[in-house]
Amino acid sequence: MELIKEINWSTNKGLGAALLLLGGATMVAVLAIQWDYFMKWSWYLFPILPIMIVLHEALHGYLFWRWSGKVKFGYLTSTAGPAFYAASPGCYFTRNRFIAICLAPQLLTIICLSLFFLVPLPDLAKFGLLGTAALNLGGGVGDFYVTWILLKQPRSAQVEDNIKGVRIYA
């Protein structure tokens, strides 16, 4: 196998900054669905954030563990700022399995938005759901970026995970 692409979160300043800005814009766009909730309940996002981060990384971690037998959780500082991660360093995954690992946390977004739109709930609960969806979607822009890159690779591509990014082989 030959290395065809490497994505390193900790050293690529332009990529990190672009993803950080895109993540923030995504959060604002989702919260704009109910701007009045945001203005009234924005303080409520602070306790939601650590819960959302744990759930987001746990969903990545579950699939890492299921398909490799090992998972590592942690925190690192990159050029874009602090980041929490779930990783399976040194393990290789098929392209499609790695796409599933990248997108798994968006199940949380789908559940939150479904409940927001389909279930009558008090305002605070609705904002909690919308805030969780916004934070999770915005925090997942790096996952969407990797998915986009992988979709352009052959199905036979292998993805090596490491804490600071991924390497794609074909």
pLDDT in tens, 59-109: 999 999 999 999 999 988 766 567 889 999 999 999 999 999 999 999 999
Could you give phi then psi for residue 81, rounded to 5 degrees? 125, -170
State pTM to two decimals.
0.86
Q: d(Cα 50, Cα 168) in Å, to the nearest integer?
A: 31
Domain count, the chain: 1
Question: In which domain, by residue range, is 161 found?
Answer: 3-169
Task: Give the model's pLDDT for residue 16.
Answer: 62
Span 128-151, average pLDDT:
87
